[in-house]
Amino acid sequence: MTARTLILATRNQGKVRELREPLSRFGFDVQSLPEDFPEIEENGATFEENALIKARAVASALGAAAAADDSGLEVDALGGSPGVYSARYSEDWPEREGESKDERNNRKLLAKLEGVPFEERTARFRCAMAFVLPEGEEFVVSGAWEGHIGFEKAGENGFGYDPLFIDPELQLTGAQLSREAKMARSHRGKAVAEMLAEIERRKLC
Number of H helices and number of E strands within the chain?
A: 5, 7
Angle separating helix axes 13-25 and 187-201, nearest 10 degrees: 40
User: Which residue among 70, 92, 162, 167 is the active-site one?
Assistant: 70
Which residue type, as a one-letter code, is found at position 137? Answer: E
Listing DSSP states for 132-182 in one string gives E-TTS-EEEEEEEEEEEE-SS---SSS-TTTTTEEETTTTEEGGGS-HHHH
Cβ atoms within 10 Å, residue 12: 16
Active site residue 29: no
Radius of gyration of the chain (CA): 17
The catalytic residues are: 70
